[in-house]
Amino acid sequence: MAPTPYVHPAVDSTAVFKSDLFKGKVLFCTGGGSGICKAMTEAVMRHGASATIVGRNVDRLTQSAQELSKATGQECLAVQADVRHFNQLRDAVARAIERFGTIDFVICGAAGNFLAPINGLSVNGFKTVIEIDTIGTYNTIKATLQHIRASKGSYIHVSATLHYRGTPYQVHVSAAKAAVDATSAVLAVEEGPHGIRSNVIAPGPIGGTEGMDRLSPKGDAQQVVYPRLPAGRLGDVKDIANMTVFLFSDAANFVTGQVIAVDGGHEHLRGPSLPYPESVLDPNAVKHMIKPRL
């Protein structure tokens, strides 16, 4: 019998970082109403920060804000806004400033994705993902920049590893996230002299998230394929949250302009998640493996 690989467990940030690390700080997070970004927000709040979360679904956003406040003992403000529209983001930032007086940290996390080959992807579908991920990131930067300059704060952009190589059925998000990575690098260079840092977190396969569920093939693929990565397990939202806490902390004040993959080594062993070349030669042959759009 082959030896069993060692697996490091996911840990809470509070087991590593001081509980009052971000006391008096304020976070502004797009996409913070669910999934990875909600976990990132919760981690920052657990260390003393207040937060504003922004999204389109006001009911889910309001519920998430209540859950985050209850879990952390810190205040969380829910503000409805669509990141594709700058005026809405500008108003959301104004609400945050009115309530908290400052913004120290920004997470650009709003995103959209679904599986589709280029031949089956509509122009509008491609455009929508670019608008949410890339233009939404730029709009968030533009709306918050003067406040982050004032606080000498920091940005984290949530990206992906899909564009590091050609990933079938992911041209829209690959293009969008490549642009996000490039935008963060320019932001780091231009705004570094003003005291601002900008970095990217690129999550790998994170279990228990809507995105992982929708973008992985139906069936047992998640259980069969992903535990074979070097870390020996699927990622946990805590893994992304811990990197968030580190990058916003003073321990990372010499880290800027970086793209950091938090993927358990997945990228080194990654193959296509759908059968190749069957999935590109005959998309109908794999339609039963694809979940509804996000």
Question: Is 177 among the catalytic positions?
Answer: yes
pLDDT score for 1: 67
Query: What tokens does 14 get?
Result: 């509070």
pLDDT category at 221 given cuts 50, 70, 90 is very low
CA–CA gap between residue 81 and residue 78 (Å, rounded) = 10
pLDDT tens per residue, range 140-157: 999 999 999 999 999 999
CA–CA gap between residue 238 and residue 85 (Å, rounded) = 31
On whether the CB atoms of residues 77 and 65 are closer than 8 A, the answer is: yes
Residue 263 pLDDT exceeds 90: yes
pLDDT score for 8: 85
pLDDT category at 227 given cuts 50, 70, 90 is low
Q: Which domain holds residue 108?
A: 19-289
Which of 89, 163, 92, 96 is CA-nearest to residue 129? 163
Percentage of the chain lying above the pLDDT 90 cut: 76
pLDDT tens per residue, range 7-43: 888 989 988 999 999 999 999 999 999 999 999 999 9
- As a whole number, mean pLDDT of residues 231-253 equals 95
pLDDT category at 294 given cuts 50, 70, 90 is very low
Question: Which helix H or strand E contains 143, and what residues bound it?
Answer: helix 136-151
**Does 12 map to a domain?**
no
Q: Scanning the structure block, which residue is given the tokens 């956003």?
A: 61
Please tell me the number of Cα atoms within 13 Å of 265 on its side-chain side: 10
pLDDT score for 116: 93
pLDDT category at 219 given cuts 50, 70, 90 is low
**Does 9 map to a domain?**
no
Question: Is 159 among the catalytic positions?
Answer: yes
Instruction: State the total domains in the chain.
Output: 1
**Does 222 map to a domain?**
yes
pLDDT tens per residue, range 93-115: 999 999 999 999 999 999 999 99
pLDDT score for 32: 93
**Does 6 map to a domain?**
no
Catalytic residue, candidates 34, 159, 198, 216? 159
How far, in Å, are 94, 157, 271, 288 from residue 5 at the CA level?
A: 50, 32, 21, 33
DSSP-derived 3-state class of residue 72: helix
Question: Which helix H or strand E contains 62, and what residues bound it?
Answer: helix 58-72
- As a whole number, mean pLDDT of residues 222-227 equals 52
**Does 2 map to a domain?**
no
**Does 191 map to a domain?**
yes
Catalytic residue, candidates 25, 38, 177, 238? 177
**Does 7 map to a domain?**
no
DSSP-derived 3-state class of residue 199: strand
Query: What tokens does 170 get?
Result: 């992911």
CATH code where residue 23 lies: 3.40.50.720
